[in-house]
């Protein structure tokens, strides 16, 4: 136990204080008898967790109280959710069962808590426990969205209090958060929570960039506030004149969204103009909302010139997650573009509290996009055999995308994700229409199945009873529904063909005097490098494997038996040789930091000094990635159990590593010469490859160089930035 003395009296006082604060947060939704229910849940949680402490040494009960507080205050949930938030860890961490919960609090609470309880045990080894847990949670979402909302509150509190955890756990949880939970919060319309989750994830996965942007934001704070004040005061004046009751204020953009902009546009911090947005929140009645929003829009655009390409109208057609707002970008008083968001109090509450606020305004909101979305989740989940990781990828794709609106021939409006094709539209109408679709008419013109749809298209589907889903369809559909339906019908077709192949193989094996048993089937599948016996049967039926190939297998079996012993010995010594050759003591891997064989991942080219981790791949041994690698969050979120700690043995290593530098500048005679002489002569660094493009006077070069460590790379980048004509130099990560 830690060597500090615990003051039980002070802690009990603090618990009572936090509980009272929670009750104050619940006040707006309390009905008769609710207070007693919350008290009963609190007492049970207090008793169940009484001997438990968090990593920080605090009493464990602080966590459930905080989760309940977030659920009440920041999401606006009611009593049932508060009770579930208080009890969310009780079944997992103590001897209490779901039956006990049901007896005391009823079926509904027990069901939600079941959805919040992690799945124990190991699944199919090719799958991932994290993915399965996420899937289980979504299954319950289809019944009750509160499971996800409480889970988000739980995740937010864990992210806010993660500094006491081990570094590898921080990385895993942060990656999972940015990969799954932040986009989910976005999809449920919880923008404030989404931004905070993204910022907190970045704080742990890329601490240097996070601190750099936070510091820069802080430096210019006073200047920004003055600009906002100058921008707002004339707007406020006219609003008052016209008797429009509205709040106008500046809202800073999140660190994560600023970093995204820097990365996407390859620009330094100084060139990110929209570090904040101006928000106008109008207090008006429901039936006047639209008119008032456009009135404010016209006032602002009379004062400041708008950018016509940047008007976003989600007031006439709200987003699928219920978001309503009018966005425009205008030229501010100092020649700077400023984003302005115009919405009413009701719209703002829906934007901040997402799904929970929808219930409150349900009567006035006729077409609820979120209900449709949950219906889609149900459809995706209804495909029972889908591998949990495939499911996550399909699901994520649909989470991230913005919507386009498509009309049927009769004028019905159908929402699809951006990038959807005519075939996605066919599946959206009905699975059978999708499966038999041979083409479509978009705005009365005939188009192929892979034709990408644009907002406002009118689409008519053409079908044929002879058509069946094809493998290549998967390459151009984007909706989870289309993907899962195509996959399951292809699986079905493959299974039928494989059944025939099984009989053919049995006959062929008989003629070669091979016993037909599982062991031999697996050996043959292994020999032809097929992952399963079904693949083998399928390829036999298709004629890819015939009697000639089987004879080769029989011959090789005889040779293999003799060679097996020698081969094993040489494989072992080969590995040892490889380790010596690789000078593997540059990186130490695992909990006890051993010297193991590894390869550096090509997607992020780590160099000494980078924050790194090891990933145990299926066929290529251990790969070393940077923690800020574009693929890292996906690997950590899905395969947390295959992540290994890794660190550089020393940052002074005598051999070099490949990394990329991207240089953007004004094209000028001799620029390439200047750059290469800085790299080769001043820094004595080898250039491995150089690709340069010049477009309308803008020069862009991607240079792969051999570097010893991060310090050398930093000084090289700094020196290249000083070359005349160069506007930006960044470390280049491969996009694959």
Q: What is the tens place of the pLDDT at every residue in 95-133? A: 888 898 999 999 989 988 887 776 544 444 445 666 666
Residue 439 lies in a domain: no
Are 280 and 252 part of one and the same domain?
yes
Query: Which pLDDT value is given to residue 533?
Result: 79
State how many domains the chain has: 5
How confident is the model over 710-736, as a mean pLDDT?
A: 83
pLDDT-wise least confident of 167-171, 212-216, 272-276: 272-276
pLDDT at 457: 84
- Average pLDDT on 393-406 reads 65
Nearest to 291 by CA among 244, 355, 358, 346: 244
**pLDDT over 90 for what percent of the chain?**
23
Q: Per the domain annotation, does 684 fall within a domain? A: yes
pLDDT at 155: 93
Tell me the range of 53-57, 154-158, 389-393, 658-662 where mean pLDDT is highest.
Answer: 154-158
CA atoms within 13 A on the CB side of 289: 19
> Do 534 and 628 share a domain, yes or no?
no
pLDDT at 532 over 80: no
Q: Nearest 5°: CA angle at 184, between 616 and 635?
A: 5
For 30-85, the DSSP string reads --TTHHHHHHHHHHHHHHHTTT-B-TTSSBTTHHHHHHHHHHHHTS---HHHHHHH
Is 363 among the residues known to form the active site? no
Q: Assess if residue 160 is contained within a domain.
A: yes
* pLDDT band at residue 162 using 50, 70 and 90 as cut-offs: very high
Q: Does pTM top 0.75 for this prediction?
A: no
- Range in 216-220, 545-549, 680-684 the model is least confident about: 545-549
pLDDT of residue 372 exceeding 70: no
End position of a domain, from candidates 606, 630, 648: 648
Please indicate, yes or no, whether residues 149 and 271 belong to a single structural domain of this protein.
Answer: no
Q: Which of 43, 92, 237, 302 is catalytic?
A: 92
Q: What is the average pLDDT across 156-184?
A: 88
Mean pLDDT of 42-63: 89
| Residue 16, domain member (yes or no) | yes
Domain that holds residue 574: 489-578
Domain boundary residue, one of 180, 207, 234: 207
Q: Based on the residue annotation, tell me whether 92 is a catalytic residue of this protein.
A: yes
Residue 399 lies in a domain: no
Cα of 682 vs its chain's centroid, Å: 42
- CA atoms within 13 Å, Cβ hemisphere of 582: 17
Shared-domain flag, residues 587 and 663: no
Specify which residues 252 forms β-bridges with: 276
Same domain, 146 and 238: no
Q: Is 412's pLDDT higher than 80?
A: no
Higher pLDDT, 82 or 32: 82
Check whether 552 has a pLDDT greater than 60.
yes
Per-residue pLDDT, 567: 45
412 in a domain, yes or no? no
CA 378 remoteness from chain centre: 20
Predicted local confidence at residue 2, as pLDDT:
46
> Lowest-pLDDT range, 98-107, 197-206, 507-516?
507-516
99's tokens: 């039956």
Same domain, 17 and 42: yes
Judged by DSSP in three states, 257 sits in helix
Q: Return all residues near 155 (Cβ < 8 A) that are at least 6 apart.
A: 177, 181, 197
Q: Which of 43, 47, 93, 271 is catalytic?
A: 93
């Amino acid at each position: 136990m830690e060597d500090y003395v615990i003051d039980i009296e002070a802690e009990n006082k603090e618990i009572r204080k936090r509980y009272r604060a929670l009750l104050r947060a619940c006040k707006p939704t309390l009905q008769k008898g609710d207070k007693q229910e919350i008290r009963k849940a609190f007492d049970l949680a207090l008793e169940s967790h009484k001997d438990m402490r968090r990593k920080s040494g605090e009493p464990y009960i602080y966590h459930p109280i905080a989760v309940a507080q977030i659920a009440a205050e920041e999401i606006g949930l009611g009593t049932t959710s508060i009770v579930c938030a208080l009890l969310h860890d009780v079944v997992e961490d103590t001897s209490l069962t779901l039956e006990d919960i049901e007896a005391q609090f009823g079926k509904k609470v027990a069901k939600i808590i079941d959805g919040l309880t992690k799945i124990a045990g190991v699944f199919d080894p090719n799958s991932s426990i994290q993915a399965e847990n996420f899937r289980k949670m979504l299954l319950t979402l289809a019944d009750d969205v509160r499971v996800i909302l409480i889970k988000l509150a739980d995740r937010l509190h864990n992210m806010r209090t993660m500094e006491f955890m081990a570094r590898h756990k921080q990385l895993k949880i942060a990656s999972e958060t940015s990969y799954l939970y932040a986009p989910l919060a976005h999809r449920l319309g919880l923008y404030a929570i989404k931004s905070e989750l993204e910022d907190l994830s970045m704080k742990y996965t890329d601490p240097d960039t996070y601190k750099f942007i936070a510091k820069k934001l802080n430096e210019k704070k006073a200047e920004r506030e003055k600009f906002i004040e100058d921008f707002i005061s004339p707007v406020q004046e006219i609003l008052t004149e016209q008797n429009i009751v509205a709040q106008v204020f500046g809202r800073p953009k999140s660190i994560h969204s600023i970093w995204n902009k820097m990365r996407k546009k390859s620009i330094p911090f100084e060139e990110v103009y929209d570090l904040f947005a101006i928000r106008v929140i109008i207090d008006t009645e429901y039936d006047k909302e639209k008119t008032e929003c456009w009135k404010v829009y016209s006032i602002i655009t009379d004062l400041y010139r708008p950018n016509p390409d940047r008007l976003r109208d989600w007031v006439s057609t709200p987003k699928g997650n219920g978001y309503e707002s009018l966005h425009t970008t205008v030229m501010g008083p100092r020649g700077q573009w400023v984003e302005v968001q115009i919405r009413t109090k009701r719209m703002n509450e829906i934007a901040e509290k997402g799904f929970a606020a929808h219930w409150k305004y349900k009567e006035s909101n006729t077409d609820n996009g979120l209900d449709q979305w949950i219906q889609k989740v149900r459809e995706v989940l209804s495909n029972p055999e889908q591998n949990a990781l495939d499911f996550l990828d399909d699901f994520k794709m649909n989470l991230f995308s913005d919507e386009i609106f498509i009309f049927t021939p009769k004028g019905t409006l159908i929402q699809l994700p951006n990038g959807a094709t005519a075939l996605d539209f066919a599946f959206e109408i009905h699975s059978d229409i999708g499966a038999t679709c041979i083409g479509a008419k978009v705005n009365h013109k005939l188009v192929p199945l892979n034709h990408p749809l644009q907002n406002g298209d009118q689409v008519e589907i053409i079908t044929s009873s002879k058509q069946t889903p094809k493998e290549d369809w998967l390459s151009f559909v984007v909706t989870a529904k289309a993907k899962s339906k195509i996959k399951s019908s292809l699986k079905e077709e493959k299974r039928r063909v494989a059944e025939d192949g099984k009989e053919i193989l049995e006959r062929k094996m008989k003629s070669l005097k091979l016993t037909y048993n599982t062991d031999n089937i697996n050996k043959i599948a292994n020999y032809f490098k097929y992952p399963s016996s079904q693949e083998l049967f399928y390829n036999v039926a298709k004629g890819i494997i015939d009697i000639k190939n089987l004879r080769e297998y029989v011959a090789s079996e005889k040779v293999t038996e003799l060679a097996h012993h020698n081969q094993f010995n040489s494989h072992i010594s080969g590995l040892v040789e490889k380790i010596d050759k690789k000078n593997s003591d540059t990186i130490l891997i695992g909990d006890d930091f051993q010297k193991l064989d590894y390869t550096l991942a090509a997607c992020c080219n780590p160099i000494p000094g980078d924050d790194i981790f090891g990933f145990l791949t299926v066929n290529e041994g251990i790969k070393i990635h940077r923690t800020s690698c574009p693929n890292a969050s996906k690997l950590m979120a899905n395969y947390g159990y295959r992540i290994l700690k890794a660190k550089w043995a020393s940052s002074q290593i005598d051999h070099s590593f490949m990394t990329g530098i991207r240089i953007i500048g004004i094209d000028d005679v001799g620029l390439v010469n200047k750059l290469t002489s800085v790299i080769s002569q001043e820094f004595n660094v080898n250039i491995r490859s150089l690709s340069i493009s010049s477009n309308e006077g803008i020069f862009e070069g991607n240079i792969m160089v051999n570097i010893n460590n991060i310090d050398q790379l930093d000084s090289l980048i700094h020196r290249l930035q000083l070359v005349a004509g160069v506007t930006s130099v960044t470390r280049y990560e491969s996009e694959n």
